[in-house]
Amino acid sequence: MSVKAKKHLGQHFLTDEGIAKDIANTLTENGYENILEIGPGMGVLTKYLLQRKSKTTVIELDRESIAYLNDVFPVEQLNLVTSKDKFEVIEGDFLKKDLLQLFPNKQVAIIGNFPYNISTQIVFKAIENRDFVPEFAGMFQKEVAQRIAEKQGSKIYGILSVLTQAFYDVEYLFTVPPSVFNPPPKVDSGVIRLIRKKDYSLPVDEKLFFRVVKTAFNQRRKMLRSSLKSFNLSDSLKEATIFAKRPEQLSVEEFIELTKKIAKDGI
């Protein structure tokens, strides 16, 4: 028995064991109590995750995959402990789950070969839950993986890059071709790893920071003094050199500085 791939769930099953192992091994051995895998499908990554000391929890939306994981997934033959302390299968939509409820006061490393249609929402959810998520790794559509990892000065540097890198150090690890999936996707995939910064607290109001970044990139061709008009900035502030730049020219640190300036304006 195997699961039939469904398009609307973004199912592309990885068929190369070597690559599955490499992806599972992107998580560092930092002694996290919990690993959460999103979208395990038939468990190709899961079996490598289960070789670790941590407990592995998987969340899967597809009923058929859930049945496969509960009934067919060869946990015993693989000599992996089957107790609930070690492996738990949860049916449902990751985007609707409350992480704090699933892992009360615990740190959880997140991994997956993510469904591409919701991959950026998964990243934003991880960022929102950063107090509990010290590490986040997995496979994305290559372009999205690059965008998350990209630095300023590039066309694909954007909201996702800045908001992720404000809290995490991002590494682009390797590219995976369509041929190792069933069915093959139309595009290359990329594997990245995010490790939460030691000090990841923002020195500015988070909501304002998010708003500045999003507003600036919504009109990415314009200079900041024009794209940030809705903030009603004073004329003297708008003369600062940073306001003559475009958002893609600003590093994460400069976005933080910019937010500080805006917060002080008019006080």
Closest contact distance (angstroms) between CB of 192 and ligand SAH is 15
Q: Does 65 bind ligand SAH (CB under 6 A)?
A: yes
Q: Does 123 bind ligand SAH (CB under 6 A)?
A: no
The residue type at 261: K
Q: How far apart are CA 25 and CA 27, in angstroms?
A: 5
Give the SS3 label for residue 119. Answer: helix
Closest contact distance (angstroms) between CB of 13 and ligand SAH is 4
Site string for ligand SAH, 198-217 (x = CB under 6 A): --------------------
Give the SS3 label for residue 182. Answer: strand
Q: Does 48 bind ligand SAH (CB under 6 A)?
A: no
Give the one residue of 24, 40, 49, 258 binding ligand SAH; rule: CB under 6 A: 40
Closest contact distance (angstroms) between CB of 221 and ligand SAH is 34
Phi-psi region at 243: left, alpha or beta (left = phi > 0; alpha = psi -120 to 50): alpha
Closest contact distance (angstroms) between CB of 20 and ligand SAH is 7
Give the one residue of 95, 100, 187, 244 binding ligand SAH; rule: CB under 6 A: 95
Phi-psi region at 41: left, alpha or beta (left = phi > 0; alpha = psi -120 to 50): left
Give the one residue of 115, 158, 190, 247 binding ligand SAH; rule: CB under 6 A: 115
Taking a C-beta distance cutoff of 8 angstroms, is the pair 218, 230 a contact?
no
In degrees, rounded to 5, the angle at the alpha carbon of residue 209 between the alpha carbons of residues 204 and 214 is: 175
Angle at which helices 119-128 and 142-149 cross, to 10°: 30
Q: What are the residues binding ligand SAH (CB under 6 A)?
A: 9-14, 38-41, 44-45, 59-62, 65, 93-95, 113, 115, 118
